[in-house]
Chain A
Amino acid sequence: MRHFVIVGILVILMAGLTYVGLDSAGLMPVQASAQSVPIDRMWNEQVIAMSFLFALIVVPMFYSLIVFRRKKGDTTDAAHVEGNTRLEIVWTILPFFAVVLFAYLGGNSLAQTLRADPDAMVVKVTGRQWSWSFEYPDYGVTSKELRLPVGKQVHLQMTSTDVIHSFWVPEFRVKQDLVPGRVTELRITPTLVGAWKVRCAEICGASHYSMETPVVVTSQEDFDAWMAGEAALVAEAAATPEGRGKALVAANGCTACHAIDGVGGNIGPKWNGAFGEEVELSDGSTVPGDEAYLTESIKSPQAKIVAGYESQLMPTYGFTDEQIADIVAYIKTLR
């Protein structure tokens, strides 16, 4: 009996200490969305349950290992206790109720994260190896980074052009895969002004690790100002071929693999000087870097492969001839 009392006290102490320790360790990133509130509350309830169950098992186990150690010279067996059916029923039934309770709470908290605002701003998200683009259909603007006004729900309508990707901003908590051939949805209400990153959470190939792009949450005024600037840029760019080309390059995330002015990936050849210089190919021959070569390389990327870039081949993007001409016009401006 004495053992049970001691262990009971120790279990309560241990559970309390474990919970306080875990709670004060700062386990979650900053809460930056309305959806993170029910999730963090649910997580906290889980931590309480974990701390209690941890103590409930660990304390009697280690207590036994220390207190019931065999005395020197004792060669007898322990008391013959085969079991206790009543106890077994108790520790089957009580967890059952706990399970139902937690599943119920979990369902509630899920419902809160899914709550839809009819006035939500729609943003169309496209994921591709290995870049993101965000289209704001209400404004006719497409951006490489996600800009959001604080306090307003955004309705993300997401798809992928190649493999499965996953949209995750740890500070927003919620996560959703992007599946080729269909549109998946996610609703986020940013509650904190600041800058974070979208991080692709589903392995999507060689550069999966670098598939990140900024998320900037600003006040509605700053958002409107940014949007007006972007819209002006779009209008200006649409007037010239190289402007349209530049916009296409930004929207399709070409710089994930091709560097421009030293910024971007090294998976494909850099674009500065791609026009006008001799290009050495993987079979040892060289071709002049002219319009015909650039056009062919966008249309059928495998036709001529630049030396040193054999291991990862570019996919075809399905641009129209006019779009390709615009992109080539843009590349021609890069010296």
Chain B
Amino acid sequence: MTKSRSVGSGLLLLVIGGVVGYGVGLGLDFLVTLLTTGSGKLNFSGSVAGLFTLLSSVTAFFFGVVGYRGITRGLNWQIFGTLFGGLFVTGIRFLMGMRGTQLFGSFFFSEPAWVFGALVGAISFLFGVGALDDWMKWARGIDTPDHHEDVPGWEKYLGVSLDHKVIGIQYTVTALVLISVGGLFALIFRTELAQSQLQFLTSTFRLFNQTGPQIYNALMSLHGMVMIVSILLGIAGIMNYVVPLLLGAHDMAFPRMNAFAFWIAVPASVLLLMSLVLGGFETGWTGYPPLSSRGPVGVQMFFLGVFVAGWSSILGAMNVIATVLRMRAKGMTAMRLPILVWASIATSIISLTATQLIGLSFQLVMFQRLLGMGFFDPAKGGNPVLFQHLFWFYSHPAVYVFVLPGLGVISELLPVFVRKPLFGYRWVAMSSLGIALVGFVVWAHHMFTSGMNEYLRVPFMYSTLLVAIPTGVKFFSWVATIWGGKIPNPMPTPFLFTVGAIFVFLLGGLTGPPNATVSVDLHLHDTYFIVGHFHDTIFGGFVFPFFAALYYWFPKATGRRMNEFWGKVHFWLMTPSFLILTFGMMRIGLLGMRRRIADYDAALGFDTTHLVLTICGFLIATSVLIFIINFFHSVKNGEKAEGNLWNSRSPEWQVPSPMAAHNYEVPFEVVGEPYDYGLPGSKYVEFAPAKGKKH
């Protein structure tokens, strides 16, 4: 590796690539308008210039960091795949005589060309990055080794690796990148909301062929979807890294599929970002038709991005289930599984079986737009409410996909820190499955005002309220675990985040039943009350536990620990800001603040509250920035922590950190209960005494 390859040179190339891309895009746009209308116009804030800036700057950045291989090659292939696919369809349309404005729309390609191009681009990415190399070789009859040894150093994270630990970190870092992007979007529109009236996203503002309110809607919608993808990647990161270690497996069951599932998420994320520059989409992340069947081509990029990201989720879930079923250490019976593994199983069952429905519902709208089909078009006998059923059949259980692993992390970490067994292990384990199963029959509570059959609302109220029971079991068991424990003093950062998670998730949980009760929901639906409730559940069920898990397992991955002081600053800055944020949201929601609006009636008197909410938003962003700096700085400079830092009984902490390439050099056998803290002489795992011993 030459010295010139570094993040610094990446950033330099990012700027250069951006400027060059902008110039090329601007020029192309000029040429196209010149050819089609006869008079060229320089559209400085147009879509084409924006698209080329986005793609070339990102690719150039990675070129600067690792050179032309791995992700750089993938992104490059994606760009050329997109162009090739688009030109292919354009050519066919040309031969069919579909010319004029159909040939060169305001986006250079017509909509079918964009969609096909984007799909080809996403698949090309996989070829370019090398995620399909082994399978292609097998197809040609060439054998490949079971494992590919990774190059030492950090460059392995930017190319295809089959090691679940590398893939886990790839997932986690990608999730952090997307959280930053989604958070940045939130800061932009939160700033617009700080005062009533439109300040900078006005009707005369133009960016990517969109007006200010349209950009507001696009950023708001993308904030939702980018965050959802980042959560899916975040939980996949935790599950990928930790589950095989907890099981005593040397890797996931299908390492190549594992790599494929991660790498498919990268072009999916690029597609989501492309939607912003290709005209945006202003439907909210729910993408209800008919609004979504009319918007610009950005809507299609959003649909396609989610569709492709869904593959990642489905394949990843399949891998987790297979790994847990087949690769447990000797003696690890169902009731001796670590609780996080139970949560991962519950989550994966949902991902594996429900994700198809969101893909399907989006695909139907795509076909409606591309092929003139009428699934949701009343003029053609379609039904717009049908879309909502299909969409929520995934998207409600999806919320449990987001939170179950987090709840598993809470249950996993609590006993370690309070030095007491997890209270009611079986009940906690089964409550995860209970939530997952009940979650499949509650979807229509998102549709109480939608115009579906009036009487159908009552059974869905009953089923939705049932979710409170297994969730309650978890809360009671956590409190009973903490009760009488030995609370660490001072509290380490991961424990702080665990406690914070319980508190915040409690607020999310308690504000849930009013939404489930039909009559009250008639008032609450589509207001900021829902926004506040949802952020509470997601922060409590994912964000706080995710940070807890990162602080907790960071030493396992690096052999160093993150800085405790800055970890506590992160916690004490984020928690109060976040609580004020969601309380404020719920308060104005009850008083009449609708969700997804670029501006609000000054007569409502929400200006002061909104200003406070915006300030809180910036404080949360600051705390996350502190975390990210701490995270990357500690990789090389953190305090060394190679032993059993948290004094855990779990197998991964019984061997030195960082973890060896193929995990445990000596296999272990499960000889006791996982959380028997306080039982003298008890052991969870025992490592085989010597090599060569029969087992």
A residues near B (Cβ < 8 Å) are 25, 27-29, 36, 38-39, 42-43, 46, 49-50, 53-54, 57-58, 60-61, 64-65, 68-70, 72, 74, 76-85, 87-88, 91-92, 95-96, 98-100, 102-103, 105-107, 109-110, 112-114, 162-164, 166, 168, 170, 173-177, 179-182, 184, 197, 199-210, 212, 265-267, 283-284, 311-312
Contacts and interface: CB of A to CB of B under 8 A. Distances in A.
A175 B523 contact: yes
A170 to B, nearest CB: 4
A163 to B, nearest CB: 4
Give the interface SS of chain A, mostly helix, strand, loop or mixed: mixed
Contact of A61 (B294, B427, B482, B526): B482
**Chain B: interface residue count, which band?**
35 or more
B503 interface: yes
A201 B594 contact: yes
A201 B284 CA distance: 12
Contacts of A99: 462, 465-466, 468-469
B594 A103 contact: no
Nearest to B415: A78
A60 B483 contact: yes
B486 A202 contact: no
B678 A88 contact: no
Contacts, number: 281
Contacts of A79: 420, 484, 678
Contacts of B288: 163-164, 202-203
Given A42-B517, A46-B520, 8 more contacts: A65-B499, A83-B421, A83-B427, A92-B472, A99-B466, A109-B520, A170-B523, A180-B290
Contacts of B462: 99-100, 103
Interface of B: 37, 39, 203-204, 206, 209-211, 213-214, 217, 282-284, 288, 290-291, 294, 378-379, 383-385, 418-421, 423-427, 449-451, 454, 457-458, 461-462, 465-466, 468-469, 472-473, 475-480, 482-489, 499, 502-503, 506-507, 510-511, 513-514, 516-520, 522-523, 525-527, 587, 590-592, 594-601, 673, 676-679
A110 to B, nearest CB: 4
Given A39-B519, A78-B485, A203 B451 contact: no
A43 B514 contact: yes
A46 B514 contact: yes
Contacts of B673: 82
A170 B499 CA distance: 36
A179 B217 CA distance: 21
A64 B483 contact: yes
Contacts of B294: 162-163
Contacts of B677: 77-78, 80
A32 to B, nearest CB: 12
Contact of A80 (B203, B425, B454, B676): B676
B495 to A, nearest CB: 10
A180 B211 contact: no
A265 B203 CA distance: 10
Given A77-B420, A110-B457, A110-B458, A180 B518 contact: no
B337 to A, nearest CB: 16
Nearest to A197: B601
